[in-house]
């Protein structure tokens, strides 16, 4: 497969993972989130900043960003769970806008609208992962997350989320704490979204670099043909 086909396959895996993350929140626990991209951005920027500015390993940055995103998800759940329905949607939308404007305006940390440059690719045993290896990494993560979601849905925590979703009063009557269950759903959903965001910035950076190199080759080839026209 060429670079574009690898990019499409990788994007498919990333979209599947973010769908699984949102399904934990919306499908299992019945909570609406329209600002889920905020978790995505926090995870992506955290990984990119740690690897570019501080020279951290991709895998260390992945763990740190997952913990940070989980904490942000928990912190957002505490005030958000005091409201429901359209009011919960408004809180999550506001969260998404806050993260977006913060990332755009905090130029010294995030690079502003231009973003971060020269993001190093992940490495395994000193071997830098190329486009094909990154695609395989994303597909592997997708399979793992889909499998874990299936186990979560059948687990006691998954059943508790469904019970709270269907009837909070009935769930409370059997000893389930709806606040704890919904907070856990927010946290897990944020962590899954972060796992998707971790390889995303590397994939986008590699795709942009590949396109830039390809454009440069085409321009050099065109210039060479212009400088040496065929004689009649």
Going 60 to 66 to 71 to 72, the CA torsion angle's sign is positive
Other CB atoms within 10 Å distance of the CB of residue 108: 7
Is residue 162 over pLDDT 90?
yes
Between the alpha carbon of residue 76 and those of residues 56, 163, 200, the distances in Å are 27, 22, 23
pLDDT, tens digit, 9 for 90 and up, residues 95-131: 889 998 998 898 888 888 887 777 777 777 777 777 7
Q: What share of the chain is helix, strand, coil (3-state, %, to 5)?
A: 80, 0, 20
Percent of the chain with pLDDT over 90: 9
The rounded distance, in Å, linking the Cα atoms of 223 and 226 is: 5
pLDDT, tens digit, 9 for 90 and up, residues 172-200: 888 888 888 888 888 888 888 766 655 55
The domain spans of the chain are 3-25+35-208
CA 3 to centroid of chain Cα atoms: 21
Mean pLDDT of the chain: 79
Is residue 151 over pLDDT 90?
yes
Other CB atoms within 10 Å distance of the CB of residue 222: 10
Is residue 232 over pLDDT 50?
no
């Amino acid at each position: 497969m060429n670079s574009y086909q690898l990019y499409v396959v990788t994007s498919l895996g990333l979209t599947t993972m973010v769908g699984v993350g949102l399904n934990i929140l919306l499908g299992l626990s019945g909570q609406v989130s329209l600002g889920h991209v905020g978790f995505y951005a926090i995870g992506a920027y955290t990984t990119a900043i740690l690897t570019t500015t501080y020279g951290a390993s991709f895998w260390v940055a992945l763990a740190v960003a997952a913990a940070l995103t989980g904490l942000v998800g928990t912190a957002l759940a505490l005030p958000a769970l005091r409201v429901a329905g359209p009011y919960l949607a408004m809180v999550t939308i506001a969260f998404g806008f806050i993260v977006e404007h913060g990332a755009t305006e905090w130029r010294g940390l995030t690079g502003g609208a231009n973003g971060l440059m020269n993001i190093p690719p992940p490495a395994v045993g000193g071997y830098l992962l190329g486009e094909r290896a990154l695609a395989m990494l994303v597909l592997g993560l997708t399979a793992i997350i889909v499998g874990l979601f299936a186990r979560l849905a059948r687990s006691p925590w998954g059943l508790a989320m469904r019970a709270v979703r269907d009837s909070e009063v009935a769930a409370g009557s059997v000893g389930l704490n709806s606040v704890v269950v919904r907070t856990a759903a927010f946290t897990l959903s944020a962590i899954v979204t972060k796992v998707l965001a971790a390889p995303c910035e590397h994939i986008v950076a590699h795709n942009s670099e590949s396109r830039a190199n390809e454009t440069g080759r085409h321009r050099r080839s065109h210039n060479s043909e212009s400088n040496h026209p065929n004689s009649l």
